[in-house]
């Protein structure tokens, strides 16, 4: 491998790969944002979501669960008219429902951070390292369990593949390919 796992040649994608993807993300707002964006990405290229991320953050109050949980029909209509984001009713409604689920967790004395990180595999970096993404699983037993638990607490639009993509993005697993120049990508 001569370059990054992905993103070479696209500055926004390179920046995301080098400074975000695979690094640990903790905090309920931060994880809520990542899971929301992963849901919006479903069926689309991730670069599309990266390009629209500033608009998503503006449209969804910087992914503050307490604010988004209060969104009603007027807000949904506003979001469906917002060309800056992905205008998919099911994904918008899921993002609102997921904010409410985060608040429900808090009401139970739980956090999204604890729920998500309880599903991190013991071995964050798998060996031998994959040399292509064709060798990287789309889902794992941990992502299936995480998706099940998220759905059980009220999350929508999160299946095992979306859960695994979030696990990769949020550093629960390190799927940087062998030879990737990202510092620490080959450690583990």
Q: Which residues are catalytic?
A: 16, 38, 46
Locate 79 and state its tokens: 């979001």
Could you tell me which residues come within 8 angstroms of residue 66 by beta carbon, excluding any fewer than 6 positions away?
A: 99, 103
Indicate the helix (H) or strand (E) that contains 167: helix 160-169
Task: Report d(CA 136, CA 128) in Å as an integer.
Answer: 11
* Residue 173 dihedral angles phi and psi, to the nearest 5°: -130, 155
| Helix, strand, coil in percent for the chain, rounding step 5 | 55, 0, 45
Q: Classify residue 109 as left (phi > 0), alpha (psi -120 to 50) or beta.
A: left
128 preceded by cis ω (within 30°)? yes
């Amino acid at each position: 491998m001569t370059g990054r796992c992905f993103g070479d040649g696209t500055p926004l994608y390179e920046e995301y790969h080098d400074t975000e993807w695979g690094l640990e993300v903790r905090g309920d707002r931060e994880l809520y944002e990542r899971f929301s964006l992963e849901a919006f990405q479903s069926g689309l290229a991730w670069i599309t979501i990266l390009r629209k991320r500033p608009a998503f953050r503006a449209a969804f109050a910087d992914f503050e669960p307490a604010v988004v949980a209060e969104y009603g029909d007027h807000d949904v209509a506003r979001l469906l008219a917002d060309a800056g984001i992905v205008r998919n009713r099911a994904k918008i409604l899921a993002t609102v429902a997921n904010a409410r689920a985060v608040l429900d967790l808090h009401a139970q004395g739980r956090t999204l951070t604890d729920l998500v990180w309880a599903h991190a595999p013991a071995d964050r970096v798998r060996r031998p390292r994959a040399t292509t993404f064709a060798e990287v699983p789309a889902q794992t037993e941990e992502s299936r369990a995480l998706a099940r638990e998220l759905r059980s607490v009220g999350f929508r639009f999160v299946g095992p593949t979306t859960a695994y993509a979030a696990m990769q993005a949020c550093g629960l697993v390190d799927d940087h390919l062998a030879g990737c120049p990202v510092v620490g990508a080959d450690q583990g």
